[in-house]
Structure 1
Amino acid sequence: MPLPDHLAWLTDTGQRQNTACGREVQIWALTPQEDATILSSWAKHFREHYINDTDLPIMVSGTGQSNAEYLRSTLFPDRAQGSGPSLRSGDFGEILVADYIEHFLGYWCPRELRYQDRWNRNDSTKGCDVIGFKFANAVPGPDDELFVFESKSGLRPSLAHRLQDAIDDSIKDRLREGMSLNAIKRRFVDRGAIDDARRVERFQSIADRPFRRINGAAAILDDAVFAGTDLTVATAAAHFNQENLRLIVIRGPDLMTLVHALYERAADEA
């Protein structure tokens, strides 16, 4: 699968830091450029997490709105009101992490349904943030992998330690995993995508069908927030899957401005 153009802006810095419990944290950098073609492609990719472009005309029909008005008022989190801005930053982080594990690590990551089935545009979707599946061979086997990732965005200064928040939420995934897999499977069944539902089903009982479980925690941080975050105080000592836990920080300049720009372009170019 070709790498989406915007992921050329996501690079491994080679920098590593260790947490208080000795876990390694990878540091990646997101460095967007003023390239209208790539930004438009990224905005389309972003928009289609909320609605397929082929479905947009029928959904807009009867509303009296333009495509852009419909997206802003009905599907996209609000730019300024209530929980909208934090949801925008959270969705951005989750989608970026999903891009990372799909295109850099080679997992199947069916994430669009998570956003397309959202009833309230300013209310986050419950369950595990990002789930990836990897099949080692044509026949299911113990080398198949389930990657469950928690993502937390810190795009504005605050007292929160977003990597620690992601680690703590990752601990909760032990209980949420089964419900999240069921939700993904249900969405595929509802759409008649039975083959995809079966692929998810393969990971619903590790006792009957062994596989390798990997957990991850990611913090997506504006450069200013990154500069004020001490990653070495974070700890995953209480995590249930310490031996298969991946930690990553993605940093970048003025990321909230980028987030709003992507949403605006995604609406205007629909």
Structure 2
Amino acid sequence: MTSSTHQHLTLLKKSTKAISTTDGKCIDVFELQLNSASEAALKVWAKHFRAQYCLDDELDNLREGSGKSRRDFLLESVFPSATTRLGPAVRSGDFVEILVSDVLETQYGYWVPRTRHSGKMVRDESPRGSDILGFKLVSDADGEWSSNDILIVCEAKGQLSGKLPKARLQDAVDDSVRDALRKSESLIAAKRRLLQLDRLVDAKRVARFQDPLARPHIEHAGAAATFCSSLFDEALIQATDCSQHPNHQGIMLVVIHAPTLMKFVHSLYERAADEA
């Protein structure tokens, strides 16, 4: 279901062609049809994207004393740089994580806390821990929980530029294996950030999943890869092997591709700053 803040995902079209990994796991493939994006959709997307780093009603207080305009403050102090050695790669990684979070919410019905990028201390570094936490709760009533509540921990990789396609879905699967060790710390980090933002109800949602022995729940793994369409190689994607993953039965695989994607990412950061 696409909300008003996710209008850009009306551009997302799921492939009707079924593809699978070597061990028979189904892969959902989406194309992001950027060429069909309206000006209105891009404006909503830019506002939503900017909010992952900084809410608009916080921006003036944050930039106070810097002597910078809203635009310059975002581009020079908040968003990953377009020109430094590490900045473009961090831009790519952040964009992929935010896009996959959007897809988890709109296409699969998860709630994603959205704390990862607003809590960054260094703009040209990627936050540590699991890339994305997603939650489904049978009931949102305070103190209620169900053994059918679901936690998904998702690894997101991207290849938005380059000449030769890489096995980024396999990379996501392989890195997902480590999420069992990072999950507890990632939950604590999300909860801490939610408490700092005074989002107490959301913090309780996260807390529900911190003690699986006392409050059992379903755990899924996710592995997602996002490509520039020129690097989308179906054969290489199908060569992915999940057979050694500890949550083999509960792993979800997603691939997204779009044309001239890194060029679009830079333009989205510019628009997000220009329209602040």
Q: How would you bin the TM-score normalised by the shorter chain?
A: over 0.9
Match of 2:103 among 100, 114, 117: 100
Match of 2:266 among 244, 260, 264: 260
Task: Tell me the amino acid that sits aligned with residue 143 of structure 1.
Answer: N
For the pair 1:173 / 2:179, whether they are aligned, the reply is yes
Match of 1:124 among 123, 126, 133: 126
SS at match of 2:220: strand
Maintained 8 Å contact 1:14/1:26: no
Q: CA deviation at 1:228?
A: 7.2
Give the match for residue 195 of structure 1. 201
Maintained 8 Å contact 2:155/2:172: yes
Give the match for residue 154 of structure 1. 159
* Worse-superposed segment, 225-234 or 164-173: 225-234
- Residue 228 and residue 199 in structure 1: after superposition, are their counterparts in 2 closer, same or farther (change >3 A)? closer
Q: Distance in 1 between matches of 2:7 and 2:229?
A: 22
Offset from partner CA, 1:141-200 (integer Å, 9 cap, x none): 111000111100111125631101110111110101010001111112223333222111
**What is the RMSD of the two structures over their aligned residues, measured on CA atoms?**
1.4
Task: Tell me the amino acid that sits aligned with residue 134 of structure 2.
Answer: G
Q: CA deviation at 1:40?
A: 1.0
TM-score by length of 1: 0.95
Give the match for residue 244 of structure 1. 250
Offset from partner CA, 1:47-82 (integer Å, 9 cap, x none): 010100000011111111111110011111111221
Q: 1:68-107 residue pairs with structure 2 within 5 A? A: 68-107=71-110
Aligned length: 269
Q: Distance in 1 between matches of 2:62 and 2:194?
A: 20
Task: Tell me the amino acid that sits aligned with residue 91 of structure 1.
Answer: D
Q: CA deviation at 1:2?
A: 4.9
Maintained 8 Å contact 1:161/1:229: no
% identity of equivalent residues: 39
Give the match for residue 230 of structure 1. 236
Task: Tell me the amino acid that sits aligned with residue 90 of structure 1.
Answer: G
Match of 1:114 among 116, 131, 134: 116
Q: Distance in 2 between matches of 1:193 and 1:46?
A: 20
Runs of 4+ in 1 over 6 A off after TM superposition: none
Maintained 8 Å contact 2:219/2:250: yes
* Worse-superposed segment, 146-155 or 157-166: 157-166
SS at match of 1:218: strand
Give the match for residue 207 of structure 1. 213
> Which runs of 5 or more residues in structure 2 are unaligned?
none
Q: 1:210-221 residue pairs with structure 2 within 5 A? A: 210-221=216-227
- Residue 228 and residue 81 in structure 1: after superposition, are their counterparts in 2 closer, same or farther (change >3 A)? farther
Match of 2:56 among 53, 56, 62: 53
